[in-house]
Every structure is written in C-alpha cells, then in structure tokens.
C-alpha cells in the first residue's frame, strides 16, 4: 500500500496498517531549502523543491500544496505584509467599517497567486502524486470574512447579523470555486482551514459558520473528493458543532484533547487527526520529544481513521530531525515500542538497578545486555543467546546480566550505562555492541580484552 493509499483509507475512517502521517509543511518548506518565506510562497519552482524534499525526507503520506490562508484575501483586495519566516499577514480589510460586497474586486481564479497554487498542484501530481496524497488548502469562510472585515466581523455578529451572514456566505462561494479548481488540478483532499472559528462560541459557530462550511463540503463531495476541516487554536467548545458539519475528517490543534476528538469523531463516523505539539515538541523540542508526542497521539487515537499531523502549519525553523523522528514512529512499530519504554528513561535516574557503582571493584568481568525483553523481541533473544554462548566458551568466569527495559530496573540500567539502542551489549560498563549482534569470534575477543584489563589472565 502506498502512503497515499494509507492516507486515503484513514481519511475514510478505515483501519490502516499503520497511522497515516501528514506533516503540514507550509513556510517550513522554505526553511528546508534555505529560502525566505517571502520568496518561497511566490515561486512554483521553490515550493516544488521544498515540498518534494519534505515529502521524501519526512516520508509523508500526504502534504498540503500551499499552506497560505491569505491567497484568496489577496485577490479580494486585502493588502499583505510579507515576512521572511512566516506566511504573509493581512493588514487591510476592504470591508472594515461596512461596505458592500459589490465594491470588492471580482474573484478571479486567474488572479494573484492562485494560478501558482493550481499549477503547483498539477506539477506535484505528476511528480509525486502517485505515492503522496495532495491536500488543497482553502481559507475557511469565517477566516476569509475576518480578512475582509477585520475585527468588525466579531461585533457585526451582534450588530448586523444579516450582513455578516452575507459576507460569510460570499466567502463560502469562493471556497466552493477554490475547491473545484484544486480538485480539477488533482488534489486528493480539500482541507477547509478556518482558524478564526476558535475565537467564537458554539452558538455563533452553528449560526454563522456551519451552514456555510457545509456548502463547501457538499461541493467537494459532489466532485467525488474527500474533505477535511482544520481548526488551529483551542476550539474545544466547538468540537460538537464541528462534528455536526458534513466534512469527512477533522484536524485539530495541540491544545485540544485528542481523546475527546476521537470519541466525537467515532460517533459521527468521521476520521480525525492533528494534535502533535508544534512548539513544545516539534519546534523547541528534541527528536525524543517529537517521538514521545507522536507516540502519545498514536496511542490515544488507537485504530481506524487516524491521521498523525501537527496541530497547525509547521513553524518555519522546525528542526527537520524532529519531523524525521515523528515519521519514524509512524513507519516503524518496532521502534515505536522501544521508544515508548526507553525515552521515559530520562526521568528514571532514581530507580534502583543492578549496575555496580564501580566495575573495577567487581571480581569478574560483567556483561550487561540491555533488551526490550529477550522472550518477546527476536533480536534481543539472539543477542542474549550469543553472549551466553560466548561466556561459556571463555576460560574465566564472566557474569552475564540481562536488563529488560520493560521493567523500571531495566530502564534505570539503560540510563546508567548510557545505552541508546536496543539491544546493546555492555562490557564492564562500556557500550561494546549496539544493535548489531556480533559473531562469536569478535564477541569473545572483546570480552577477553576486558578480562586482560582486569588482570585475570
């Protein structure tokens, strides 16, 4: 099954052989190729390079074509300010303080940077589209209305509800046009990204947002394509209303409980995803933080219809090794099991373990074998077997100890010995063979070196 197939199955709420994985690479793609965001988001060549590299390096099942929620607003006359490390910001609101929709420039799919987005989709489709699913991202109707009206949108819900509905409705018609154009260009999924809805109540969501989102989802479904609703920000209170919309999938930010989303999604037959911690784990964390967070998400999600993804657009300078680490957890269930047990080691220093304070004071050479559990992990079993065999072939007595990291004692031993890989052989407290099971000749020779050092010869 290709990554694209895994993702499409997951999106349709099917059970998949592994979790699907979609790193939301936006301006981070620019960072990957050493470019500024302001150049990147204006160049097909650069985005193609960044996204192709990201898809390959992060072993992605799907990638967003262009994570820039200002594309539509730009065409509608909003002024943008560009930044080297962020998507552009909207700084003028043509409908701020009122004004009729008629005064906006006519929405044209050939205007602004829109042709770039659709051309990029076609190019990506032909280059990596057989293996990697493409997400067409469109600006959600409420967020687009916010671009057009500014803060007046919020007060307008109280002062001029009909006017606000007319604006949001217009924005949803643009969402429908964008969706069709993206689908025509070859995307597999259309994601409607509506972060501003995280700022309003559930009542306002159901009155001012849900009906207009549903118009877009219906259009996407009519084209035979899957839809996703992304809400960056804390939208906890709106999850029930979001689940009532007709999207196929919901993707959420890190500050929302994935367990709650899982339960709501399962009752409404939707697939779900997101939730990887953007800042604490991916941006400021280390690979182990990314691994642990990926494991947390995968474990909470459990089973069918789950797409592992960051909570929102990846920050520009997210260390690539953190994303590679998250990808590893998706693709390698064995490593996932090991990481589950080993990474916690960081906090395990205080547990007692059977490791001497000073190996030099011990009468015999000690061979410590750190394993997941030799009974259940085949490579661990082979390694323990190899050490026992070597020990019995030696002329001097050698003490062999297995430390299973399925126990706290084993974890503490692993930490004390500074072991990074499983399984690993340590001789008198030094890492001798990591991951690789040595042949008898090498193993015996190595142990004999330590016996000689100890003066036992």
Which residues of the shown chain bind another protein in the complex (CB under 8 A)? 81, 83, 85-86, 89, 91, 151, 154-155, 157-159, 199-201, 204, 236-237, 278-279, 283, 315-317
Least distance in Å: CB of 198 to another protein? 9
**H helix or E strand, kind and range, residue 227:** strand 226-231
Separation of alpha carbons 164 and 204, rounded Å: 11
* Closer residue to another protein, CB minimum distance, 11 or 242: 242
Measure Cα distances from 336 to 5, 298, 382, 403, 444 in Å. 22, 10, 20, 19, 32
Least distance in Å: CB of 303 to another protein? 30
Least distance in Å: CB of 280 to another protein? 8
Closest by CA to 443, choosing from 370, 392, 376, is 392
* Closer residue to another protein, CB minimum distance, 200 or 339: 200
Q: Which residues of 57-79 are buried (b: 16+ CB within 10 A; e: fewer)?
A: bbbbbbbbbbbbbbbbbbbbbbe
Contact 148, 93 (CB under 8 A): yes
* Closer residue to another protein, CB minimum distance, 201 or 440: 201
* Closer residue to another protein, CB minimum distance, 28 or 415: 28
* Closer residue to another protein, CB minimum distance, 159 or 332: 159
Alpha helices (H) along 135-286: 141-149, 152-159, 161-185, 202-204, 210-222, 239-244, 258-268
* Closer residue to another protein, CB minimum distance, 18 or 147: 147
Least distance in Å: CB of 85 to another protein? 5
* Closer residue to another protein, CB minimum distance, 200 or 258: 200
Least distance in Å: CB of 279 to another protein? 5
Least distance in Å: CB of 313 to another protein? 11
Contact 84, 156 (CB under 8 A): no
Contact 148, 167 (CB under 8 A): yes
Separation of alpha carbons 181 and 450, rounded Å: 69
Cα of 314 vs its chain's centroid, Å:
9
Least distance in Å: CB of 285 to another protein? 12
Residues listed for the chain: 457
**Which residues, listed in sequence order, are joined to residue 104 by a DSSP beta bridge?**
none
Least distance in Å: CB of 35 to another protein? 15
* Closer residue to another protein, CB minimum distance, 151 or 349: 151
Closest by CA to 154, choosing from 81, 209, 99, 102, is 209
């Amino acid at each position: 099954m290709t990554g694209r197939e895994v993702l499409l199955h997951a999106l349709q709420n099917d059970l998949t052989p592994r979790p699907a994985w979609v790193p939301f690479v936006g301006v981070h793609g620019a960072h990957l190729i050493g470019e500024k965001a302001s150049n990147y988001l204006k160049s097909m060549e650069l985005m193609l390079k960044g996204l192709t590299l990201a898809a390959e390096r992060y072993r992605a099942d799907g990638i967003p074509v262009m994570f820039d929620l200002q594309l539509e607003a730009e065409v509608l006359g909003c002024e943008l300010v560009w930044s080297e490390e962020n998507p552009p910001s909207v700084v003028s609101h043509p409908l701020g303080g009122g004004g009729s929709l008629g005064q906006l420039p006519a929405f044209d799919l050939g205007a602004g940077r829109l042709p770039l987005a659709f051309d990029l989709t076609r190019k990506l489709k032909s280059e990596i589209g057989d293996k990697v699913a493409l997400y067409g991202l469109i600006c959600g109707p409420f967020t687009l209305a916010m671009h057009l009206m500014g803060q007046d949108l919020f007060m307008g819900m109280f002062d001029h509800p009909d006017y606000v509905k007319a604006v949001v409705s217009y924005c949803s018609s643009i969402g429908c046009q964008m969706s069709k154009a993206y689908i025509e260009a070859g995307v597999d999924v259309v994601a409607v990204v509506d972060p501003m809805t995280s700022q309003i109540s559930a009542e306002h969501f159901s009155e001012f947002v849900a009906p207009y989102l549903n118009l877009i989802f219906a259009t996407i479904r009519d084209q035979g394509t899957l839809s996703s609703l992304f809400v960056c920000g804390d939208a906890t209170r709106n999850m029930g209303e979001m689940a009532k919309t007709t999207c196929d999938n919901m993707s959420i930010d890190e500050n929302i409980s994935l367990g709650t989303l899982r339960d709501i999604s399962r009752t409404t037959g939707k697939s779900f995803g997101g939730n990887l911690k953007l800042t604490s784990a991916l941006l400021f964390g280390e690979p182990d933080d990314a691994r642990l967070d990926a494991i947390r998400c995968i474990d909470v999600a459990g089973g069918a219809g789950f797409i592992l993804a960051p909570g929102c657009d990846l920050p520009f300078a997210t260390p690539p090794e953190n994303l590679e680490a998250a990808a590893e957890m998706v693709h390698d269930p064995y490593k996932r099991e090991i990481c589950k047990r080993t990474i916690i080691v960081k906090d395990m220093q205080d547990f007692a373990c059977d490791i001497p304070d000073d190996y030099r004071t011990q009468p015999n050479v000690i061979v410590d074998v750190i394993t997941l559990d030799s009974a259940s992990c085949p490579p661990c079993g082979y390694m323990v077997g190899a050490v026992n065999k070597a020990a019995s072939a030696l002329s001097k007595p050698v003490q062999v100890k297995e430390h299973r990291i399925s126990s706290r004692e084993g974890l503490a031993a692993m930490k004390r010995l500074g072991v990074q890989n499983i399984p690993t052989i340590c001789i008198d407290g030094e890492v001798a063979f990591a991951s690789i099971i040595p042949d008898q000749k090498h193993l015996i020779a190595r142990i004999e070196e330590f016996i000689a050092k100890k003066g036992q010869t």
